[in-house]
Amino acid sequence: MFLMSLDLNTLLEGWPHEPGQIRVRKINGNDGKEKIQLRIDLGLIQMEMAGRPDGLRPHGSESLLHWHRKRARRAAAAELPFSLDAEECGELQQEAIQFYHRYVALFELGDYERVIQDTERNLDLFSFVTKHAEREEFAWGLEQFRPYVLMMRTRARASLSLDRNEIPAAIKEIELGRNKILKLLKERPEPADSSAETEFLAEWLEELQRKRPLSKLEIMQKEMDQAIATEAYERAAQLRDAMHDLRKSKAK
């Protein structure tokens, strides 16, 4: 009689946990579907690639968020009130944590499209809870993490651009993401001028700007500044007119 070992050490052999390091791998499950395994200090977390990470379908729905949205729509159609109590908000928060583990793992694997899907999904969940929670503190349990999720979505979007060697597009994504977080921070009851998320994006932005090749307009501007500095005013005027024409052609 064959006895299957339940000891996780067999699975973890040769795959040690390293504090501060995210260790992820893909495996093929017994159902033939690809899974993600995330190494943690006491073992591992295994997640589905699609749907809810634990593979469950609460109330026959894709997720708890989908289930509560159905409830909200039915209530609205019947012109009845709808709200989420403390237990329901807590359950939705636990579901959001599952998606957090998955998008962190997906980012490490370089699957940026799925990172964007999962981060946007959690942002939608935050908004849903904020709209329907019985009490404001229930919603804050999730809303406090919005800057982090926005940062991860920004990182994924910018990383997609970098994979295509589109540095200016990546810079634009980082600027948009950072500005969105800064706006959010200033709208909170205790406004803040920065956060760990905005500081990380600012450092990344500075690094990419140093690597970004100068545009034609920027090259001409530098040459014009040099011409003025050396009193080559005729050349400076030519460059000024050329820059004006270039801007007009881009505006069309």
Write down the pLDDT at residue 250: 67
Higher-scoring residue by pLDDT: 189, 203? 203
Write down the pLDDT at residue 227: 80
87-140 per-position pLDDT tens digit: 999 999 999 999 999 999 999 999 999 999 999 999 999 999 999 999 999 999
Is it the case that residue 3 has pLDDT exceeding 60?
Answer: no
- Band (pLDDT 50/70/90 cuts) for residue 218 is low
Mean pLDDT over each residue of the chain, to the nearest integer: 91
Is it the case that residue 241 has pLDDT exceeding 70?
Answer: yes
- Which domains, ranges and CATH numbers included, belong to the chain? 51-67+78-211 (1.25.40), 220-251 (no CATH)
Write down the pLDDT at residue 1: 47
Write down the pLDDT at residue 215: 65
- Band (pLDDT 50/70/90 cuts) for residue 146 is very high
Write down the pLDDT at residue 249: 76
171-198 per-position pLDDT tens digit: 999 999 999 999 999 999 889 999 999 9
Closest alpha carbon to 195 in 158, 152, 148: 148
Calculate the alpha carbon distances from 154 to 91, 172, 176 in Å: 27, 10, 8
